Structure 1
Amino acid sequence: MGKIHLSHKDHKLELKSYKRPYFCSGCKEPGFGSRYRCGQCDYELHKHCMSPPGRTVHHDFFKNSTFTFLFQPPGNRSGEKCQRYCKACGKLVKGFVFHDEKNGWDLHPCCRKLPRKLTVGGVEFALCDKVSSTCLFCNKKKRERTVSGFRGWSYVSKTENLHFHVSCPTEWKLEVWGKGATYDNEDSLALARVELPIQRYNWNGRSGNIFIRMVKVIVKASVAILLGDPIAALTGIYDLVAN
């Protein structure tokens, strides 16, 4: 049974699942896996864009603030369009958004859903809005290709002093897909098509193939969260098993 969405009233959207990336017609951000789709119009929505959690929400990083779900980014007071950036990833807001009118803050729907904790290889990462170390993937404190000087949110390991920007693994994964790798072909050869943009840390005394497996799990977790892949979300307690 299809569903009507207020952003696409002409046809019903049906839940589909394809093993390929796409761009959400709502938030204009990448997606993967299950999505609500209109086959007549090629209109596709993330599951969380199809059914946002109510008109207004709150977030722990923004005390005493209320975010309202909007179909389009708000303009400035003169009514002209202005560029707006997500407070989590630092990228442009182009479509569906959670907006805090009082402070002028914006969050992509996918970024608002970021869990506060992830566990990879037995190491716990906590979601933070302030970091002091460099990113495991881009090797920088500040995010590139975002608003100037923006650090963005990161997952940080207190025990191993490791961190990665929330969107860096996903952007790298999209680059891998662009080089011809597929969801079903994520072995070392597929990963090798794009140079690993990461530092070879000694991960609890493990290296080599275990390190590659750790990177793949981090990427899989990020895909599940930011690209809306329910398969990865269901299977991903995001723990590595060293054997």
Structure 2
Amino acid sequence: MGKIHPSHPDHELQLKCFEKPYTCDGCKQRGIGSRYRCDLCNFELHEECMFASPTAHHDFFKNSDFKFLYQPPGQEYFREDYRYCDACGQTVKGFVYHNEKNGWDLHPCCQKLPCKVPIDGVRFELCKKVLSKCHWCNKKKPDGSVSKIRGWSYVSKCNKYHIHVNCFKEMVLEGWENRACQDDCSLTLQNLELPLQRKNRNQRNGNKFSMMVKIFFKTIAAILLGDPTISLTCLLVKFLSK
């Protein structure tokens, strides 16, 4: 049986699973995999948007509570005419967790990002300020962000590996768009070849990074794309060098 959501009260939403990417009608962010959907209205929600809590917190912001809102706060809180998610650095256009005291905002999926992720003896941590460029986009500032809110990055404790939060999602979506058979909507995520650029040309370091990334994606990309059931362990990661 389906479930009614306040943002779509006329019809029930049912849990569906499609591999084709979609745009969540709640937070307006992209997603892949399972979603809550109304076929009559072509209305879809991430699981995190479907079951958002009235209040939430994130360990990155100690002792700070966030209130769930269906729309971004009013003009008095706008920064540079738009609101931006402090986690991914992208615009906030719909559902959001907002901290009124400090003006912080988090997309519902970004609110679930863990602060620390240990992978094969290497610990990745969320960081706000980084010194090196992202291994995928080769930039310090991710595309779509603004100077004051660049978004977080996952950085290894050894400071060798650095990936923007938003780049995890962009890699999966670009991998989908570049898949071999554009007409095959049943192509599984496990068969996607992700275009991950590696900055370090040392083969030994590249292989270790490849192994860590495959495991890392299972956790981070699934959270950002709103589908905790996605298994990315078998993703084929293609390293492109400039």
Tell me how far apart the structure 1 counterparts of residues 20 and 169 of structure 2 sit (CA, whole Å): 14
For 2:240, the equivalent position in structure 1 comes to: none
Q: Counterpart amino acid of 2:174?
A: E
Superposition map of 1:80-159 within 5 A: 82-148=81-147, 150-159=149-158
Retained in 1: the 8 A contact 2:92–2:107? yes
Structure 2: gaps (5+ residues): 181-186, 236-242
Q: CA deviation at 1:220?
A: 4.2
Partner of 1:35: 35
1:94-243 aligned within 5 A: 94-148=93-147, 150-159=149-158, 161-180=160-179, 182-184=187-189, 186=191, 190-191=193-194, 196-200=196-200, 202=202, 205-207=204-206, 212=210, 214-232=212-230
TM-score, normalised via structure 1 length: 0.81
1:241 corresponding residue in structure 2: none
SS of equivalent residue, structure 1 residue 138:
coil
How big is each residue's C-alpha offset from its partner over 1:149-177, in whole Å with a ceiling of 9 and x where there is no partner? 54321111113532111111211221221
Following superposition, the deviation at residue 58 of structure 1 comes to 2.1
Following superposition, the deviation at residue 55 of structure 1 comes to 1.1
Letter in 2 for 1:231: T
Matched-pair contact (CA < 8 Å) for 1:21–1:30: yes
Identity of aligned residues (%): 54
What's the CA shift string for 1:22-52, capped at 9, x where partnerless?
Answer: 1111001011111111111111111111001
Shift of 1:206: 4.8
Letter matched to residue 165 of structure 1? H
* Structure 1: gaps of 5 or more residues: 239-243
Per the TM alignment, residue 214 of structure 1 is displaced from its structure 2 partner at its CA by 4.5
- Alpha-carbon distance change, 98 to 148 in structure 1, aligned in 2, over 3 angstroms: same
RMSD, matched Cα:
2.8
* Cα distance change on mapping 1:142 and 1:149 into 2, 3 Å: farther
Q: Are 1:32 and 1:229, in contact at CA under 8 Å, matched by a contact in 2?
A: yes
Residue 226 of structure 1 and its aligned partner are, at CA, apart by 0.2
Contact 2:59 2:115 in 1 (8 A): no
Task: Confirm or deny: 8 A CA contact 2:72 2:96 kept in the other structure.
Answer: yes
Separation (CA, whole Å) in 2 of partners of 1:78 and 1:64: 21
TM-score (norm 2): 0.81
